[in-house]
């Protein structure tokens, strides 16, 4: 038997749905824990391990063309994606 790693939540495939699902879940857990720490919720903190597995050598190897990206959904998930160095070179203005 090979190496075994256990996670609470596993997203299979690093496509847009899995990546946005993993990111959204992480944000929900963080928000929950912040409310618990602030005394707004009388529940326990959540300690959830989240993983994304991808068969490709890198994320997007199978589906992303690198040509055109509509950033609206990305802006909702990661509002500061440009500040974080997203590799976007030429915005479409028309």
By the 8 A CB rule, do 21 and 40 touch? no
- Please give the tally of structural domains in the chain: 1
By the 8 A CB rule, do 84 and 78 touch? yes
From residue 83, how far is each of 28, 56, 75 by CA, in Å?
Answer: 22, 27, 11
Cα within 13 Å of Cα(29), Cβ side: 14
Residue 24 and residue 48: Cα distance in Å, rounded? 13
Task: Give 13-55 pLDDT, tens digit per residue.
Answer: 988 889 999 999 999 999 999 999 999 999 999 999 999 999 8
> What pTM was estimated for this model as a whole?
0.73
Q: Is residue 90 part of a domain?
A: no
Q: Is residue 87 part of a domain?
A: no
Q: Is residue 92 part of a domain?
A: no
Residue 69 and residue 88: Cα distance in Å, rounded? 9
Q: Is residue 47 part of a domain?
A: yes
**Range of the structural domain that residue 18 is part of:** 9-77
Q: Is residue 63 part of a domain?
A: yes
């Amino acid at each position: 038997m090979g190496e075994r790693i256990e996670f609470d939540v596993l997203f299979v495939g690093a496509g847009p749905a899995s990546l946005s699902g993993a990111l959204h879940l992480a944000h929900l857990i963080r928000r929950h824990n912040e409310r618990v720490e602030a005394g707004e919720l009388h529940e326990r903190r959540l300690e959830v391990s989240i993983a994304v597995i991808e068969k490709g050598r890198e994320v997007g190897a199978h589906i992303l063309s690198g040509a055109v990206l509509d950033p609206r959904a990305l802006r909702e998930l990661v509002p500061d994606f440009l500040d974080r160095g997203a590799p976007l070179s030429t915005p479409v203005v028309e």
